[in-house]
Structure 1
Amino acid sequence: MMIICASRRTDIPAFFPTWFMNRIEAGYCTVVNPFNSKQISYVSLLPGDVDVIVFWTKNAAPIFKSLQKLDSRGYRYYFQYTVNDYPVSFEPNLPVLPQRIEDFKQLSAKLEYEKVIWRYDPIIISNLTPYEYHLSKFAKIAEELRGFTKRVVISIVDEYRKATYNFRKLQKQGICLGTNYTLPEFGEMIKKMVAIACNNDMEIFSCAERIDLKGFNVLPNKCVDDKYIKKVFNLDIEKQKDKYQRPECGCIKSKDIGFYDTCLHGCCYCYAGSYFAGSNNHKKHKPESPSLLGYYDVNL
């Protein structure tokens, strides 16, 4: 038995729902080592071999029609669903905010509110998105999602290697990014966000943060969370930490079936790739393939 991540590396619900459901039908998929294409992992997707599927997405609508089939086959799953309200220069290829909020609500109605977690992340302080900007946007979205989720997860932007180039481009356009997230003003913003979450009947958590936010009543979150899985699905999961994640990450062990550099959202802060790489790699995607990119199978 294992937990399947679908996926930290790309948005499978948004861009690869057909491939994913084809793999559910086949009962397995393959995951290729990006540094050695001869190293191919077989991953069973049979219901009896999968504890839980964790979806990460910013646009779940394309996979809505497949959820009933997952339910009928007995799969357990939940969604980490990012809803921000950034300028187009930060998130250029997302549906408009009202549509994303409506999709979130529809998903929550199809499932249960506990199975859809709102992510407001990452928090980027800039001259376009100062503290007041985040408080206004966070409050607006929280009010919209009240009753449709019980948990919100926040994080502070990190300058990942793949995002640094995008940040430099933004700076050339006159968009200045903040770098000091220990200022009193930042702490005041977090305190107010905690109050907003509480007023909308939501618990608030942080994700893989180097900065300790516990003093603001923001506890560390696990995206792949044994306690959460026990609470929602009444399932006891092995509590072994995922050694392939950052030290700050508390997630337990899981298997990611995604592939980097395949997302088409093109968000400036993304650690998993660029729009240019994603667009090029989509040419290598075959919905009928065992692997998300190319056609890699294993001899059983």
Structure 2
Amino acid sequence: MIINTGSRTDIPAFFSKWLLNRIDEGSVCTRNPYNDDIYKYPLDSKIIDCLCFCTKNPKPMIASLDKLDDFRQYWFVTITPYGKDMEPNVPGYKNVMKSFKKLSEHLGIGKVSWRYDPIFISEKYNLDFHIEMFDKMASELGDYTNDCTISFIDLYQKVLRNFPNSKEVTQDEQLIIGREFSKTANEHNIKMKTCVEGTLLDQFGFDSRGCMTQEVIEKAIGKNLKIPKGKYRIRECDCIFGRDIGAYNTCLHGCKYCYANTNMKLVKKNQKLHNSNSPLLIGDVKEGDVVKEVREPSYIDTQQRFI
């Protein structure tokens, strides 16, 4: 079983105490965002093939990393150089890089990846800004990660409501970003990737298969996986997402380009319902709720040696 903590919210940044409590208890519950069904997953390091984290701020978890050492892990950390006008509650990129380095030192370079996402172009955050800042950041992170994934802003309705002045990044702008980022990345031994962006940047050496593919997770855990065909795949990329234990409309970063939050009023309302001792991230299991226990096996291939 693969557990994903971060496609719906940022658990390390805002709910680290809750997650550690769930690990102590040995299980976690999550509510299906589409039909309210509740699923219960074991948090047992013998069953969990990989505990995947996606975060903009790993710092709240750094002091407790030893409590996760029994689990095979993969961390995907977003570090972008935007200001408070775009990311009101995200720590400055220099502080996030410090936490990134500590993660890498504790876990190993192959278990921590950098995400520079999303890229949008504006008068303030223009092409020159992105090229200059990516160079500056890559020069510091090159010794702490093997790869970096970029993607361009998606203009979902939620994004347009919160960021009405956003616009698509043109193909010409994407090509400039791809060419310049690849030059910088090559200087620092960073492999560049895209996810759900097509193959446009492959000409510059990008890997466009996805950010969290089976190969990525296998390298992070040092094991081969034998995952049933179609399992965990929910998009047109090759990523595998596992069982997500997060909840939408709960992330307090307040990023203008966020696709997971409808609005901050709802986020703050949900935050008041959070109980760090509850098996659910938001609210509690109530009388009459049907909780479905998920008994999913390990997908580690014990017959094939990992190379």
Report if TM-score (shorter chain) is over 0.5.
Answer: yes
Match of 1:213 among 170, 192, 201: 201
Task: Give the CA deviation at 1:246.
Answer: 2.6
Q: Say whether residues 1:24 and 2:23 are aligned partners.
A: yes
1:36 aligned partner:
35
Q: Which amino acid aligns with 1:164?
A: L
Q: Which amino acid aligns with 2:55?
A: T
1:258 aligned partner:
246
Q: Which amino acid aligns with 1:227?
A: E
- Structure 2: how far apart are the matches of 1:221 and 1:276? 36
SS of the aligned residue for 1:220 comes to: coil
- Does the CA-based 8 Å contact 1:241-1:252 persist in structure 2? no
Task: Give the CA deviation at 1:90.
Answer: 1.2
- Give identity over the alignment, percent: 36
Q: Which amino acid aligns with 1:222?
A: G
Q: Which blocks of at least 5 consecutive residues in structure 2 are unaligned?
A: 294-307
Q: Which has the higher helix share?
A: 1
Under a length normalisation based on structure 2, what TM-score does the superposition of the two structures give?
Answer: 0.88
Judging changes above 3 Å, is the alpha-carbon distance between structure 1 residues 262 and 242 closer, same or farther for their aligned structure 2 residues? farther
SS of the aligned residue for 2:128 comes to: helix
Match of 1:157 among 150, 153, 157: 153
SS of the aligned residue for 1:213 comes to: helix
- Structure 2: how far apart are the matches of 1:222 and 1:9? 18
Per-residue CA distance 1:128-172 (angstroms, 9 max, x = gap): 21111100111111111120111111001101221110121xx3x
Match of 2:86 among 90, 93, 97: 90
- Does the CA-based 8 Å contact 1:32-1:296 persist in structure 2? no
1:130 aligned partner:
126
Q: Say whether residues 1:182 and 2:189 are aligned partners.
A: no
Q: Which amino acid aligns with 1:40?
A: I
Judging changes above 3 Å, is the alpha-carbon distance between structure 1 residues 221 and 265 closer, same or farther for their aligned structure 2 residues? farther
Task: Give the CA deviation at 1:254.
Answer: 1.0
Under a length normalisation based on structure 1, what TM-score does the superposition of the two structures give?
Answer: 0.90
- Structure 2: how far apart are the matches of 1:92 and 1:257? 25
Per-residue CA distance 1:222-265 (angstroms, 9 max, x = gap): 33322123233221223434566332x32125110000000000
Task: Give the CA deviation at 1:42.
Answer: 1.2
- Structure 2: how far apart are the matches of 1:241 and 1:53? 20
- Does the CA-based 8 Å contact 1:208-1:250 persist in structure 2? no
Per-residue CA distance 1:268-292 (angstroms, 9 max, x = gap): 1111104332222100100000010
Match of 2:278 among 289, 292, 295: 289
Q: Which amino acid aligns with 2:119?
A: I
